[in-house]
Each structure stands twice: as structure tokens, then as C-alpha cells.
Structure 1
Amino acid sequence: MAWILPAVTAGVWVVSKLFGSRDSDPNPTYAAIEARRWAELERDRAIRDLDGMKAQVAQLVQSMQEMQCRTLQFQQEATSAAATAQQRTQEQMRAMVEAERAANAARFAAESAARLATEDSKKKAREAEAERQRTQAALEEAQRAAEASKQDAKRLQRAAEEEKKKADEAIAKSEAARKAAEKDVREATAAKEDAERQLREGIQPVLTPTPQEILAAQAKIQYQENLFHFAVAGRAGGGKSSLINAFRGLSNRAAGSARTGVTETTLTVGRYPDPDERCQHVWYDLPGAGTLKIPDWQYFNAQGLYVFDCIIVLFDNRFTHTDIAILLNGRRFKIPTYIVRSKADQHIRNIMKEMGYESDDEDRSQRLTLYMAAREQLVDETRRNVKANLAEANLPDQKVYVVSSSCLRAVAKGEQPSRAIDEIQLLNDLYTEAQARRVRHESEGLST
């Protein structure tokens, strides 16, 4: 824009030359004097208008330069927005150039009009004024466009800031997702390593029944909320059926009793309600683990033991893998488990024979002494054996109940047999714990 000043100055010089260097007529007429005075006035007014327009143009140029600086600064933060603003600024600059050109043309027309001082010059002056007004209008339009461009720049800046905020949020979410994925990978890796370790150590996986499997298991045993369901598990031929008959107060040959035999006769779960309809106990004879083609660690879930109120595990001399799986899963599902050593009368008689007992014809006092010694030996050996087996299986110690079917049957019928060992305590513990567990579940709003 440096050329504006010299150009205006040159124009003033030309006008002065035209009007100032003319030879003075020694005898000018009045019309000539008035024409000259009018031309000088027109010249002065044209020069003032040009000076005003020059100041406006200079101010607008300065404003455009400042706006261009702000636009360039914004361009560093939002390239696309700056490009748009720059384009608009360039258009405004072109408009300014056009305005300056128009102003120069108006100035030239005004100078011509002042120089000629004729009707034609007046016409040119009017045209110049009209052109000045159009130029002024163009300047105002350019100012409005500049303000609109400024507002657009602010809007684009806000949009850029909003996009940056969204990008930051997306980055934060991505980082959280990455950390969660890394955590899942670590957990999966740890689970894989733990599974491999368990496989190397012979530890079987933990199986959790689905809700559908729980409902199916309940339907299989005819589960009822108002009844207590007791499962009896153990090796084949371990006396489960005889024990269930004793719990119900029945002999092995009584009507409705569970089938008994030397070899395993139970291949499916047997359901045996108490013969007293007022009693809410139902007993279940489970197949011996050795009679089914089921891995030991699948026995608990396969038989649906997770739906019972209590589980009784018959123990002989050593825990089987199935016994250990039942005890482990019982703790996992918070189902009370009871370790029972049955056939106590037979075991005591065998120990008495090892001590020298031969016949019931021997002295009653001697027979009772041998009986008490054999009973104590059986109980002590059984408890030590169970404790050692539990420790070997990494299970906490728990009580073992030593019972015989005949004494247990008498207790179930309300009698007080003289040779009872743990029969009374077993029944009391079973019923008390089952009732307590049911109350806990009802208070928690759960079903067993």
C-alpha cells in the first residue's frame, strides 16, 4: 500500500499545476473569476475527500493486517479453519485494492472536473461522487465481511477446541480400554499359568453349575422348599443303603427300605422320604463313584450335590479322590458335610477278636472290658486316620462320627441304646445344621 501516498501527492501537484501555473489574464471577466474560484473549491473538496479516503484506506489496511496476524496465529491451531479465514482475508484485500483503484479513478475524475471547470467536469464530479459513495458502500461491505470473518474464526476456534476436548476424552477412554485390556491379558495369562500348574500338580478344574443345571438337579431329586434333603455318598459297598434305612428307623428288610447288598446295587440316585409323613427329611442314596464312568473331580457336579442341604460321606480306612472332591466342593458351596464311619459294631467285634475274644459264652465282665477297649481303639484310630487323610488332602480337620446302623436305627426311633457312640450327636448335628442353613438362606432371600 506504499504507493497510495505518492500517487495522491502527484495528483495534488497536477491540480496545482493546472490551476496555479495558468497565466493570469490582465483583464479577467467576472465569469472567468467565478469559474476559477469554483474550480479551486471543487479541487480543494476533492483533495479533502481523497485525504479522508486515504485515511480510511490506511486504517482499513492496518485493520486487515492485524486481522491477518490473528488469522495466521489461529491457523497454527486449526489449519482448516485458518485456510478459510485466510481465503476470506485475501478476498477482502482484493476488495480493498479494487476500492483503492476506484478511489484513484474518482480522484482523477475530480481533478479533471476541477481543471476543466465545465458542465462536463460537473458531470464527471457527480459521477465521481457517485463512485465515491459506491466505494464507501464497498468499504462498509468489506468491514461487515471482515466482522463476519472474525465471527467465523471464533466459531471455528470454538469448534476446534470442542474437537480437541473430544479427542482428549477419546484418548482417555482409549487409555482406559488399553489398561483394561492389559489387565484382562494379565489375568488370562495368570489363569492359563495357574491351569497349567494345576494340570502339572494333578489338581482338577473347578466347575460351577449354571442356573439351568441347578434347576435340572432340583427337578431330578424332586426338590421341595419345605423339605430337608440329605445326600449319602461313599464308595460302592460301603453301607450307604443300610445307613439310610437306619436314619429312617427301618431295618434292611422292612417295606420301603433302601436295597442293600454286598455288591453295589445303586446306579441312579435313590430318593427315600421319612416313613413318618410329619417328618420333613428326605434321604438320597447316591451311586458309588466306582460304579459310574465319571471322573472323580466331576462326581460332585454330575450328581447335583450342590442342591442338597447336607452331605454325609461314608469313610472306611482311607479317603478316595471322590471323597476329597465332595469335601472340597461342600466347603466351596457352603454345604455342611459329615464324615461318618459306619459298621462300628462289626469293627469293634473284629478288634475284640484280635485282642483274644473268642465267644459270647465268656465271662460277661471280661467281654464288657474287651468291648470298651476295642471301642476306644476304634474311635481313636478312626479319628487319627481321618485327621491324617484330611491333612494329606489339604483340608481342615473336622469331626468324624463313628456309628453302627443298629444303634442309629434305635436312636432314630426315639430309643436310648446302651452301646451308642456318636449316633445321637450325629442326628442332632444334622438336623440342627440343616435347620440353621435353611434359616440363613431364607433371611438372605435365597433358596438352598
Structure 2
Amino acid sequence: MGGGQSHHVDWAAIHARERAEAEARARAEAARQEAERAAQAARAEAERLRREAEAARQRFQAEQAEAARRAQAAREEAERQRREREQAEQAARAAREAAEARARQEQQRAEQLAREAEEERRRKIAAEEAARQAALAAKQEQERQQRVREEENRRLQAQKEAAERAAQKAAEEAKQAQAAREDAERKLQEGTRPVVTPTPEEYSAFRAKIQHTQGFFHVAISGIAGSGKSSLVNAFRGKHNMDFDAAAVGVNETTLTVARYPDPNPSNRFIWYDVPGAGTLKVPDWKYFNQQGLFVFDCILVVVNNRFTATDVAILTNARRFGIPAFIVRSKADQHIKNLMKDMGYDSDDEGGNKASYFARARDQYVAETTRSIRTNLQEAKLPDQPVYLVTNVALQAVVTGKTPKKMLDEVKLLTDLAGTAPRYP
């Protein structure tokens, strides 16, 4: 072809490539066939292993069944032996019990024979003793009659002598009674109050009346009418005057009988008693201590007001006579201090006034005057000196309920000293 490029086909390369491809296909076919033979051999091996495993499983199940059968046979044999052993034990127990029963019967018969023999011996001894006692009694009766005659003679003589002594004693008692009447009349004319000692029956009656309870400390709040006893009872119990279970308060004397108020705190073993006020027409001052049964209380608080009265002296004197701890308490301290502040010129409407300064001056004056007055009155009554506790009900109620009031006097000291007086109850 003129002007064109000639093309040459490399048939040798083509044939070589075809031979290579044919050889590759042959090798691949041989590899496939080898893989199929290997897979078939593996399946045959797996089937063989499965048959062997199944045979092993069947042998294991057979062995298990044989073991279960043997175990059941062993259990049945053990149960048979257990029943035989129980039967043997029951037979042995029955034989033992029968032997023991026979032995007991034999022993009881022997004991019965021994008792009968002992009883016969005692009857014989008793008969002999009765005969001896009869002879002795006859002799003693003769001696007794002789002693009776002698005793009768002595008794008649003693009666005669006793009658003479009684006549002499009656004359002396009549003389003493006359002297006692004259002395009582003289003391009444001089204004001296009689001292009366309660009887045991009165002790028991008043203890029952106040429901005196073992393991509790019974505190009487006493004093003249209007001294603030009821409000003080409420403060000791952590109560306000308007609480539903508080002691009644009022302008006039509201307490006509002794009122019992257990402390609301279960751990506090105090029982507080609001005692009717003295110095009224219903309760004369000189009979106050005994009529209110103050002699049965464990402790007495004498609440004093503006002045120390004969009633206060009578309570303290009798408390010492009966060995009862007594505390002198002046309540309403806040009101007294306010009155002193006014006397000093303090005006509550004056916003520029120095209230704290007035309060401190009035408080110091109140403490000093009250302490001096009480000490003087105790000396005049020939009573030993003792502290007076100045308290306000508001501060006392706050301290009892666990609060810290801004203004305090002797509230904490009073509670501490009261607790120190009371015994430690379990």
C-alpha cells in the first residue's frame, strides 16, 4: 500500500498468552478439585466425629442411667436398713421402758411397804407419847391451877396499885392541862401562833391528795395571794399564761386548791404545785402551812411580793422544822424594775432617752434593795440568812425552753440550785 504504515501481528505472543491462560485454568481447576476433595474429606471427618460424639453421649447416658439405678438401689437399701434400725431401737426402747416400769412398780411397792412400816412405828410412838403427854398434862394442869390462883392474887394487888397510880397521874395531868390551857391563852393574847404537828394519818392523806409519786421531785409554789405563783408555775414548765394546759392566772386569787402540774419534759422528774395563796379570809396565814399540807413536799418555793410578811416567815420556819429545802423567790422583777425606771425619770415616749442606762441603774437598785430587805426580815424573824432569787417570768420561761433572753437576773441560778437540790433519779 503506497504511502501507508504496515501492521505486523505477533502470533507467537498470542499463542503464548493463550497457553498461559489455559495452564492457569488447568491449575485453577486442579486447585478447585483439590479443595472439593479436602472439603469432602473434612465433611467425612466431621461426620465421623459427630458419630463418635453421639456414641459417647449414648454411652454417658447409659452410664448415668446405670449410676442412677445403682444410687436408687443404694438409697432403698439405706432406707431398708434405717427402718430395720428404727424397728430395733423401738423394740429396745419398749423393752427398756417395760423393764423400767416393772422396776418402778417394784420400787413403789417397796416404798409403800416402808411407809406403812414407818407409819406403824410412828403410831406406836405417838400412842406412847400421848400417854406420856396425858400424864404430863394432868400434872401441868394441877400446877397451872396453882399458878392461876397465885396470879389472881398478884393481879388483884397490881390492880389496886395501878388504880392508886392512875389516880395520882390523873391529878398530875389535870394540873398540866390547866397549865397548858393557861399558857395557850397567854400565847394567843400575845399573838403567838400555835405549832401543830400533823398526825401520820394527815401525812398519808396529803400525800394521796397531791398524788405523791416515787421517783419524782415535788415542788410547792407557795406564798401570799397575788404574789404571782401561778405565772411562776407556768414559767417553770415552759408555758405561757394563755396556753391551754397552763395554770390559771388573774387579778384575784384564782387557785383555791392545790393544783398539780407535771413537767412537760419527760426527762425532767419535777412535779410543780400551785398552792392557794395565804393571807385571805379562806386561808389564815398561821394555819397556811399545815392546812395546805406543805409538810409532804420535797421542796418549797416561797414567792414574796413587795414586802416580807408573817406568812413568809411562818412558811420558812415550818420548812426548817420539817427539814424541807425552801427557796425565797421574788417574781415580777421586770415590772418592779420598770416602776423604778419611771421613778428615776425615764419616759418610754422619749425616743432619745437612754433606756439601757436607766434599766441598769434600776436593776442594780432593785437587786440591792430586795436583798437588803430580805436579809433584814430574816434577821428580825430569827431565821438564818439565805439568798433571794430575783426572776422574771418571761426570762425564766425562755431559759426553760432553751432560749437565751436578753435580760436575765437569777433565773439560771434558780434552776441550777433547784436541780442540785433534787436527787438524781434513774
Give the 3 Å change call, closer, same or farther, for CA 173–309 of structure 1 in structure 2: same
- Which of residues 202, 220, 223 in structure 1 aligns to 2:212? 223
- Which of residues 356, 366, 372 in structure 1 aligns to 2:360? 372
Offset, 1:292: 5.1
Distance 1:395 1:276 in 2: 35
Whether the 8 Å contact between 2:222 and 2:276 is mirrored in structure 1 is yes
Q: Confirm whether residue 240 of structure 1 aligns to residue 234 of structure 2.
A: no
The secondary structure found in structure 1 opposite 2:329 is strand
Distance 1:292 1:272 in 2: 26
Offset, 1:232: 0.7
The secondary structure found in structure 1 opposite 2:221 is strand
Pairing of 1:361-440 with structure 2 (within 5 A): 362-363=351-352, 366-435=354-423
Offset, 1:190: 6.5
The secondary structure found in structure 1 opposite 2:347 is coil
The secondary structure found in structure 2 opposite 1:420 is coil
Pairing of 1:59-138 with structure 2 (within 5 A): none
Which amino acid in the other structure matches residue 373 of structure 2? N
Offset, 1:219: 0.8
Distance 2:332 2:189 in 1: 38
Offset, 1:175: 12
Offset, 1:278: 2.2
- Which of residues 223, 234, 244 in structure 2 aligns to 1:255? 244
- Which of residues 182, 193, 208 in structure 1 aligns to 2:197? 208
Offset, 1:207: 0.6
1:358-402 per-residue CA deviation (whole Å, 9 max, x = no partner) reads 1276457x2211111100110111112212222333323221111
The secondary structure found in structure 2 opposite 1:271 is strand
Q: Confirm whether residue 297 of structure 1 aligns to residue 281 of structure 2.
A: no
Aligned partner of 1:274 in structure 2 is 263
**TM (normalized to structure 1)?**
0.54
Aligned partner of 1:31 in structure 2 is none
Residue identity (%): 55
Whether the 8 Å contact between 2:260 and 2:272 is mirrored in structure 1 is yes
The secondary structure found in structure 1 opposite 2:422 is helix
Offset, 1:204: 1.2
Gapped runs of 5+ residues in structure 2? 1-156
- Which of residues 283, 299, 318 in structure 1 aligns to 2:307? 318
Which amino acid in the other structure matches residue 342 of structure 2? K
Is the deviation greater in 288-297 or in 414-423? 288-297
Q: Confirm whether residue 283 of structure 1 aligns to residue 272 of structure 2.
A: yes
Give the 3 Å change call, closer, same or farther, for CA 180–347 of structure 1 in structure 2: same
**TM (normalized to structure 2)?**
0.57
Offset, 1:176: 10
The secondary structure found in structure 2 opposite 1:419 is coil
Distance 2:422 2:411 in 1: 17
- Which of residues 293, 301, 307 in structure 1 aligns to 2:296? 307
Q: Confirm whether residue 357 of structure 1 aligns to residue 341 of structure 2.
A: no
Whether the 8 Å contact between 1:267 and 1:292 is mirrored in structure 2 is no
The secondary structure found in structure 2 opposite 1:313 is strand
Q: Confirm whether residue 330 of structure 1 aligns to residue 313 of structure 2.
A: no
Which amino acid in the other structure matches residue 390 of structure 1? L
Whether the 8 Å contact between 1:317 and 1:385 is mirrored in structure 2 is no
The secondary structure found in structure 1 opposite 2:219 is strand
Distance 2:180 2:402 in 1: 53
Is the deviation greater in 383-392 or in 249-258? 383-392
Distance 1:224 1:379 in 2: 37
The secondary structure found in structure 1 opposite 2:372 is helix
Distance 2:302 2:414 in 1: 12
Distance 2:394 2:362 in 1: 18
Offset, 1:315: 0.8
Which amino acid in the other structure matches residue 212 of structure 2? Y
Offset, 1:250: 1.1
Give the 3 Å change call, closer, same or farther, for CA 269–180 of structure 1 in structure 2: same
Distance 1:310 1:286 in 2: 13
Which amino acid in the other structure matches residue 400 of structure 2? A
Is the deviation greater in 425-434 or in 330-339? 425-434
Give the 3 Å change call, closer, same or farther, for CA 221–381 of structure 1 in structure 2: same
Whether the 8 Å contact between 1:342 and 1:404 is mirrored in structure 2 is yes
Offset, 1:286: 1.0
The secondary structure found in structure 2 opposite 1:266 is coil
Give the 3 Å change call, closer, same or farther, for CA 178–391 of structure 1 in structure 2: farther
Aligned-residue CA RMSD (Å): 3.2
Whether the 8 Å contact between 2:279 and 2:311 is mirrored in structure 1 is no
Aligned partner of 1:42 in structure 2 is none
Distance 1:186 1:428 in 2: 54
Aligned partner of 1:346 in structure 2 is 335
Distance 2:283 2:347 in 1: 44
Distance 2:220 2:408 in 1: 23
Whether the 8 Å contact between 1:267 and 1:291 is mirrored in structure 2 is no
The secondary structure found in structure 2 opposite 1:207 is coil
Whether the 8 Å contact between 2:278 and 2:285 is mirrored in structure 1 is yes
Distance 2:280 2:185 in 1: 30
**Number of paired residues?**
272
1:148-189 per-residue CA deviation (whole Å, 9 max, x = no partner) reads xxxxxxxxxxxxxxxxxxx9x9xx999999999999788767
